[in-house]
Amino acid sequence: FARLRKGLSRTSEKLGSGISDLFTKSKFDAATLDELEDLLIQADLGVDAAMRISQEVGRQRHERGLDEDGVRKVVAAEVEKSLAGVAKPLEIDASKKPFVILMAGVNGSGKTTTIGKLAQKFSAEGKKVMLAAGDTFRAAAVEQLNVWAQRTNVPIVTKEIGADASGLAYEAVETAKAAGVDILLIDTAGRLQNRTELMQELEKITRVIKKVDAEAPHAALLVLDATVGQNALSQVELFQKTAGITGLVMTKLDGTARGGILVAVAEKFALPIHFIGVGEGVGDLEPFIAADFSRALVG
């Protein structure tokens, strides 16, 4: 919890001090509730959630009186309610060998880093992990994934730059199967300049790996950068349509005071959120747990 609290400190400091400031006024009235709503909007919770939560604070304050800590608790409880339905652990079905996880997301979202963090986490749990460098478009992406493979001591399947990504994914699933790998993490390209091409490539990868295993990929995770704010919503929309996304990972929560974006995403899409990234280090990946996150968010 300490790591989570630290990771969310930029948001919680802003939100927390904002809530404290509400109590420096001579009275707590409708204007104060508007200020609370603004604070929540600034933290990127989205207008609907911000309005609902400030109304609930107003209602409970009217009913039973709320001090500063009381307001914090109501905000946390309401955030938790929004997140409870989507905060779900990623379940790895051990009977699938390999359990294939397709990793999608736009360049810079933290996809490669998240793959490295997941490789470390799964290896530490005693699972046999393999990586596939499916972004065959960018030499830097392949190199970076190679660095993570070495750092986490897991094997990696690569091909030359410009090679067909679906062909590589196919080979990777076959190789992983033959090697008795438990979890195969497949990186994919994330260039947003050509959306149609990007989506077609993701579709093709999915289609082609089904030739090795009809149920693969067993999970398709979209990696989102929390610092892009409400743009995250349009990214989910884009990928959800074609890439068959089954769950989300939100990165860089340590780099923003707008950590409430998870609430906006949770309310707009019913997609499970599995993990959050709270730093660049290999250990900076936290399971997404509604109660812990909500508590850490308000400080």
259 contributes a contact to ligand GDP by CB under 6 A? no
258 contributes a contact to ligand GDP by CB under 6 A? no
Minimum distance, C-beta of residue 201 to ligand GDP, in the bound complex (Å): 15
Contact set for ligand GDP, span 131-150 (CB under 6 A): 144
Among 110, 259, 260, 299, binds ligand GDP (CB under 6 A): 110
Neighbours of 267 (CB within 10 A): 17
Using the rule CB under 6 A, give the single segment among 79-87, 155-163, 176-184, 251-259 that binds ligand GDP. 251-259
The DSSP element (H or E) to which 184 belongs, if any, is: strand 183-187
Neighbours of 84 (CB within 10 A): 14
Among 218, 252, 258, 274, binds ligand GDP (CB under 6 A): 252
Neighbours of 89 (CB within 10 A): 12
121 contributes a contact to ligand GDP by CB under 6 A? no
Using the rule CB under 6 A, give the single segment among 26-34, 87-95, 101-109, 260-268 that binds ligand GDP. 101-109
Helix 231-243 / helix 195-209 crossing angle, nearest 10 deg:
40
46 contributes a contact to ligand GDP by CB under 6 A? no
Cα 149 from Cα 224, distance rounded (Å): 22
Using the rule CB under 6 A, give the single segment among 58-66, 100-108, 202-210, 212-220 that binds ligand GDP. 100-108
Placement of tokens 């309610």 in the chain? 81
Please provide the distance, in angstroms rounded to a whole number, between the alpha carbons at the two ends of the chain: 12
Task: Report the candidate in 124, 140, 127 with the shortest Cα–Cα distance to residue 101.
Answer: 127
105 contributes a contact to ligand GDP by CB under 6 A? yes
- Annotated binding-site residue numbers: 105-112, 187-191, 251-254
